[in-house]
């Protein structure tokens, strides 16, 4: 996913937001169940005599994909410093440009004042991460 942005002189990491393995697998399980039900219903609607194939195929496909990309997804660490939010692949958000941070299905959606959006995925407590980021942005705006 590329390298993280380097720290500036005098910049300190305040907190890291690492993906949670349990949240990762739970998100994929939920996706597999929902898509499996949907696939089974479509096969029923089409009159397929074996609608159970839909849920089984959905679970297998999502499970294989989840296993294949797990190491990459679980390596995406976001760092909050005293000046910026640093993400994977060199993403950088100055705290003065931090607009909103909201929990979103096990993740946190960060929107900057410029309208850019970033997703901090697979957090064990997305509400706490969003609150922490909102506070950091408010402090920077008043700083």
Mean predicted confidence (pLDDT) in 109-138: 96
CB 98 within 8 A of CB 118: no
Closest to 2 (Cα-Cα) out of 84, 85, 72 = 72
Give the domains, in start order, of the chain with CATH numbers: 13-19+76-142 (2.30.29.30), 21-73 (no CATH)
Spatial CB neighbours of 77, under 8 Å, sequence gap ≥ 6: 4, 16, 17, 18, 19, 88
Q: Given this model, what pLDDT does residue 1 score?
A: 55
pLDDT tens, position by position, 44-96? 999 999 999 999 999 999 999 999 999 999 999 999 999 999 999 999 999 99
pTM (2 decimals)? 0.85
Q: Given this model, what pLDDT does residue 142 score?
A: 56
């Amino acid at each position: 996913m590329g390298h993280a942005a380097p720290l500036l002189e005098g910049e300190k990491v305040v907190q890291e937001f690492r993906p949670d393995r349990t949240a990762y697998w739970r998100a994929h399980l939920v996706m597999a169940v929902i898509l499996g039900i949907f696939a089974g219903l479509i096969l029923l609607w089409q009159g397929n005599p074996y609608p159970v194939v839909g849920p089984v195929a959905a679970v297998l496909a999502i499970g294989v994909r989840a296993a294949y990309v797990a190491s990459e997804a679980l390596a995406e660490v976001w760092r909050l410093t005293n000046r910026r939010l640093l993400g994977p692949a060199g993403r950088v958000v100055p705290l003065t440009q931090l607009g909103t941070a909201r929990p979103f299905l096990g993740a946190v959606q960060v929107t900057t004042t410029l309208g850019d959006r970033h997703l901090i995925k697979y957090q064990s407590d997305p509400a706490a991460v969003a609150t922490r980021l909102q506070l950091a942005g408010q402090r920077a705006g008043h700083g």
